[in-house]
Structure 1
Amino acid sequence: DTLQKAVTREMFKKRYGNVFEGPKEWQEVKTSGGMTYKWDPGSTYVQNPPYFIDMPKEPQAPQDIKGAKLLALFGDSITTDHISPAGSIKKDGPAGEYLIGHQVRPVDFNSFGSRRGNHEVMMRGTFANIRIKNEMLGGKEGGLTKYDGETLSIYDAAMKYIAANTPLIVVAGKEYGTGSSRDWAAKGTNLLGVKAVIAESFERIHRSNLVGMGVLPLQFKDGMTRQTLGLKGDETFDVSGITVLKPRMEMTVAIRRADGKKEEIKCLCRIDTLDEIEYFRNGGILQYVLRSIAKTTRKAA
């Protein structure tokens, strides 16, 4: 009885009746209004991501990968923090240089985690962990790779490959993508132009996230590894079978060495379900969802 007298319905009605109006401070926040968000081109925290730019109404059939170059050659247990670090931003790295170019002082860089709404920062931070080791460089630490014999940041090399319309792949060892289920580990991989990741094994969630971003996960078969293949980083790769994808099908990867020798290996497609096939066919789950919403809206109109 005491509780019923002390806590009344009117208290809740009064407290939550204008909950969406917020306090005075909230009401004084200046906004642009409207039904859609108006992107601020000068913001270094939130930018319009490019996932839907020039996206056709209907998905285009995925094509086989031809003439791909190796962006990075990694060992075992590459974590999502190796792939997309959430910590501090170095001023002499691609992300730091981007922020400085946008008049952000190093003391105000904040962290990758705080800037995850800006793809320009996050893609520059992909594979930029200071402890990640690219075996193309003899295991040297840092987000570096080889491009045409020159040592560059992985981001800078990826942009050169994208400009030349050259697809990219990443090769790794066991347990690729372990750690927290960090979505930017897959998003950043996609934005760097990586079309496939070939590994000895994948962490479950990261494998799914790669598919969700339109990146093909392939698994070595029959005890084959980057080491048994003697990969150096100057090879060129073709991946066939993408035009007729089925869950967990066997796919052929052709490797052309720098000396002209060619070798074909079999890999297991780690797109594991029919739903994932549909996501991949659409270019990723984001595109799949947008097209699904658009179709539903057109039917209702």
Structure 2
Amino acid sequence: MKSPAGKYLMEHGVKPKDFNSYGSRRGHHEVMVRGTFSNIRLRNALADGLEGGFTKYIPTNEIMPIFDASVKYKEDGTGLVILAGDDYGMGSSRDWAAKGARLLGVDAVIAKSFERIHRSNLIMVGALPLEFLKGEDADTLGLTGLEEYAIAITDEVKPNEVITVTARAADGTEKTFQAIARLDSEIEIDYYRNKGILPMVLRNKIK
């Protein structure tokens, strides 16, 4: 009842006994986006040790639900980047794992490796999967997630091209590293250029 999804349902007249599961509400994007990253065992390094669907809203250093922070970032015009480890996206409901992240404002995920279908789903909703070079990750590169990220990718990107990422800390110091753009084929590049498969289909329809 205290979760963003629970609060939304109650505000719209749904009693807690009728909440049911996220799976039963897969067609309701307002519920599902609020449920993205809501696992009670989630460990976000930005949440100061608090488990669950929480993060830090960096401009004020407040810890809050990920959905609430995403709303604030959208109001600020700030796109989001996820730093992750191995097999990012592993698990069930993988379509909503990608759709939900994109609706929260996630533009890119930089991970050590990706679950195969989730990597593809990210591209189909217009998010960029980037893979750390072998032997590197956020820890070895000294990344905290508090930085601003600039990703040097162009429309001329090639499949699995190694691109440059710059992380700029609040004190102005910068760290530059390489990452693999996990756009594995020309069609995936087309999806990404068009911000996802549905926008691409619509653009082709109205040509």
What's the TM-score bracket when you normalise by the shorter of the two chains?
over 0.9
Hey, what does 1:26 align to over in structure 2? none
- In structure 2, C-alpha distance between the alignment counterparts of 1:100 and 1:242, rounded to whole Å: 44
- In the alignment, structure 1 residue 155 sits paired with structure 2 residue 67: yes
Residue of structure 1 aligned with 2:144, choices 227, 232, 237: 232
Q: Aligned pairs, how many?
A: 205
Please state whether the residue corresponding to 2:155 is helix, strand or coil. Answer: helix
Deviations 1:72-110 (A, max 9, x none): xxxxxxxxxxxxxxxxxxx10100111111011111111
* 1:266 aligned counterpart, secondary structure: strand
Partner of 1:107: 17
Q: Which has the larger Rg?
A: 1
- Structure 2 residue corresponding to 1:119, chosen from 17, 22, 29: 29
- 1:67 is aligned to none
Cα offset, 1:291, TM superposition: 3.0
Counterpart Cα distance in 2 of 1:260 and 1:275: 38
Identical positions, percent: 54
1:278 aligns with 2:190: yes
Letter matched to residue 189 of structure 1: A
Between the aligned partners of 2:188 and 2:161, the Cα distance in structure 1 is 13
For structure 2, list consecutive stretches of 5 or more residues without a partner in the other structure: none
TM-score normalized by structure 1? 0.66
Tell me if structure 2 keeps the 8 A contact 1:95–1:121.
yes
- 1:265 paired to 2:177: yes
2:83 and 2:145 in contact (8 A); partners too: no
Equivalent residue for 2:164?
252
Equivalent position of 2:155 in the other structure: 243
Q: How does 1:1-80 map to 2 (within 5 A)?
A: none
Alpha-carbon distance in 1 for matches of 2:87, 2:185: 20
TM-score by length of 2: 0.94
In the alignment, structure 1 segments of 5+ residues that lack a partner are: 1-90, 296-301
1:173 aligns with 2:85: yes
Distance (Å, rounded) in 2 between the aligned partners of 1:98 and 1:242? 39
Q: Distance in 2 between matches of 1:288 and 1:164?
A: 27
CA distance in 2, matches of 1:269, 1:126: 24
The CA deviation at 1:139 is 4.0
Per-residue deviation at 1:138? 4.0
Q: Find the residue that maps to 2:140 and give its secondary structure.
A: helix
- RMSD between aligned residues: 1.3
